[in-house]
Structure 1
Amino acid sequence: MQKILVIGGSRYFGKHLVTLLRDAGDEVTVLNRGSAAPPPGVGHLVADRDDEGRLRAVLGGRTFDTVVDQVCYTPRQAAVARRVFAGRTARYVMTSTMEVYDPAPPTPEARAYAEGKRQAEAVLREPGQGGGPFAFAAVRTAHVLGGGREEFTGRLAHYVGRIAAGTPVDVHEAPYATSFIHHHEIARFLQWTAGQSFTGAVDAASHGALDALDLCALVAGRVGRPAVLRTVEPGATASPFSFDRDYALDNGRAEDLGYRFRRVADWLPGAIDEEAGASL
């Protein structure tokens, strides 16, 4: 049994992670701003992670075997966490993103998100004097899908809704393939990572990258309507998951460490059906 703190963990795959850890027999505590209570059997601490003084006060003398940070988006948040959890945890796992590899994010918001995650990783990874304050691992997750109404980004809903309605889907002429993972699988992978000892970055993705045209074809087959495609100019913004640049993930390190991912083909049709049902 481990003592594990999950920072965030109040929605989408974070909720699944908390439940998996609890059901495996770990002593789990969730820290968030009080927006949602954790499930039964899980401890709850309320604090704004950006408020270093309040965070220290709420934690008191608590220590943990592992911290899983679901909501670290900036180097400032990472620096606060590095100071506060030094001496409180042996291992720190940050949920990062495949966007750290994106060579050309298309919007200012996307650039800020990717750069924030890159810098946050760097702050937590920095060894400092006498080594780092804890063992650090960054899970760079693929695009997470599934969950119907739980999937708050609306990216799969974009495809399902447009194709079902006969509305054009904007795509690049030759989009690059990208990586995906089911929301339950990324929760399982984070649970597994919390119990491991490796450090550094690891990519988390199901086997089988798809491009936007593949996704359109698969959605069209599930909803029973042909996809109407509209090609955008190079460099223009298109539908989610249509990329004019390559940065698909390589899950080889995770597999070498002992984790076995599913194939996209095994779960994406069901996720599309779930999304179609949620939109009715």
Structure 2
Amino acid sequence: MKRILVIGGSRYFGKSLVTRLRDAGDDVMVLNRGSSAPPPGVGRLLADRDDEAGLRTALGGRDFDVVVDQVCYTPLQAAVARRVFAGRTGRYVMTSTMEVYDPATFPAGSAPCTGSALPVVPVVEGALDLTGPPFARPFPYRQEPAPAPGDTQARVRARAYAEGKRQAEAVFLHGPDGPDGPPFPFVSVRTAHVLGGGRAEFTGRLAHYVRRIAAGIPVDVHATPYGTSFIHHLEMADFLGWTARQTFTGPVNAASHGAPDVLALCTTVAERLGRRFRHRVVEAGADASPFSFDRAYAMDNGRATALGFAFGRVADWLPGAVTETARAAA
């Protein structure tokens, strides 16, 4: 049995993670601002994670074997967490994102990713270098990249999200005061695009395809779309629960086997709905539908596999996720 604190854990795969940990016999607590109650058998701490003094007060003298942070989005939040939980936990697991690798979201003038762009082959954890500039420098970091010419609102949000996660990882890695800080037992789980769960899949990205294809509306795609990585929401919960019981540190990619491109995704949706799909090609540089990428955008899951986690295949669970989404939209 482990003593595990989940920061967040009130929706989507975070809820599934909490119940899985509880059912496995772990002593589980969640920490949030009180927006929703935890399931039976799970403890609760009320605090705003951004309030360092309030967070320390809520924790009191407690310590944990593992902390799983589901809702760290900025370097400011990471700095608070690293200071507060130093010496309080054996391992700190942050749920990050595959978007940290996306070269399209790096601030102008920086190139912390190996090479000028992602390789066409699925990217490994070491492709993102958080040990050199601009990350190995004293806190505070710039939280959001400067807007680029022609940025749409969606691109600005994507850039801010990816940059916030990169910088948060860097703070956990180096410490709030730079690379000379004390070591911290940190794991960053870089998640693929999470799908499934019907209405619980709050981003609505799979629902976008279900609605358009059901209605016969063309799907916007790039001229040569690249494949990307996905993971089922329950597999994501399983992976985080498995990670909490391991001893490794550092970044780890979490993705089901297989990297379909947007046209393959549309084919699966259309087959499940019993419809044909139509698509139209957008101009170079224009926004397309979710999961249509004009650059390499898939992750290698080899490290997690070698450590002992058995991923499923996108092709096996995606049809069921489509059906689930269609039923929720009906």
TM range (shorter): over 0.9
Counterpart in the other structure of 1:34? 34
Match of 1:183 in 2: 233
Counterpart amino acid of residue 21 in structure 2: L
Partner of 1:51: 51
* Partner residue, 1:22: 22
In the alignment, does 2:170 pair up with 1:122?
yes
Choose the corresponding residue for 1:112, options 128, 153, 160.
Answer: 160
> Among 202, 214, 218, which residue is 1:168 paired with?
218
**1:153 corresponds to 2:217:** no
Among candidates 257, 264, 268, match of residue 207 of structure 1: 257
1:265: how far off? 0.9
Gaps of 5+ in 1: none
Q: Which amino acid is 1:20 matched to?
A: R
Shift, 1:170, TM fit: 0.6
Q: How far apart in 2 are the matches of 1:196 and 1:145?
A: 25
**Are 1:243 and 2:293 matched, yes or no?**
yes
| CA distance, structure 2, for counterparts of residue 131 and residue 44 of structure 1 | 29
Amino acid at match of 1:117: K
Partners in 1 of 2:180 and 2:218 — Cα distance? 56
The separation in 1 between residues aligned to 2:182 and 2:259, in whole angstroms, is: 37
CA distance in 1, matches of 2:216, 2:33: 41
Stretches of 4+ moved more than 6 A in 1?
none
TM-score, normalised relative to structure 2: 0.83
Aligned letter for 1:155? R
| 1:193-242: CA deviation from partner (whole Å, max 9, x where unpaired) | 01111011000000010100000111111111111101101111100000
Q: Specify the alignment match of 2:321 in structure 1.
A: 271
Partner in structure 1 of residue 87 of structure 2: 87
CA–CA distance in structure 2, aligned partners of residues 234 and 22 of structure 1: 49
Distance 1:157 1:139 in 2: 25
User: 270, 273, 282: which one pairs with 1:220?
Assistant: 270
Aligned counterparts of 2:25 and 2:301: Cα–Cα separation in 1? 28
- Alpha-carbon distance between aligned partners in 1 of 2:8 and 2:284, rounded to the nearest angstrom: 37
Contact kept in structure 1, 2:188 and 2:250, CA below 8 Å: yes
Q: CA deviation at 1:38?
A: 0.6
List runs of 5+ in structure 2 lacking aligned partners. 106-153
Question: Tell me, what secondary structure is at the counterpart of 1:238?
Answer: coil
* Amino acid in the other structure paired with 1:279: A
Question: Aligned runs of 1:127-142 on 2, under 5 Å?
Answer: 129=180, 131-132=182-183, 134-142=184-192
Could you state the TM-score of these two structures normalised by the residue count of structure 1?
0.98
Q: Secondary structure at the match of 1:104?
A: helix
After superposition, give the CA deviation of every residue in 1:122-161 in whole Å (9 maximum; x if it has no partner).
Answer: 11011655741x3110000000000000000000000000
Tell me the distance in 1 between the aligned counterparts of 2:312 and 2:323: 18
Letter of the aligned partner of 2:28 in structure 1?
A: V
- Describe the superposition over 1:65-119 as per-residue Cα deviations: whole angstroms up to 9, x where unpaired: 0000000000000000000001111110000000000111471110010010000
Report the RMSD for the aligned CA atoms in angstroms.
1.0
AA aligned to 1:86 is A
Kept in 1: contact 2:174–2:180 (CA 8 A): no
Identity %: 73
CA distance in 1, matches of 2:58, 2:323: 43
Match of 2:283 in 1: 233
| Larger deviation, residues 99-108 vs 168-177 | 99-108
The one-letter code matched in structure 2 to 1:24 is A
- Take 2:206 and 2:75, find their aligned partners in 1: how far apart are those partners? 30
Distance 1:52 1:130, change over 3 A: closer
Name the aligned partner's letter for residue 290 of structure 2.
P
Alpha-carbon contact 2:174-2:181 (below 8 Å) kept: no
**Secondary structure class of the residue paired with 1:38:** coil
1:146-180 Cα distance to aligned partner (Å, 9 max, x none): 00000000000000000000111111111000000
- Count of residue pairs the alignment pairs up: 279
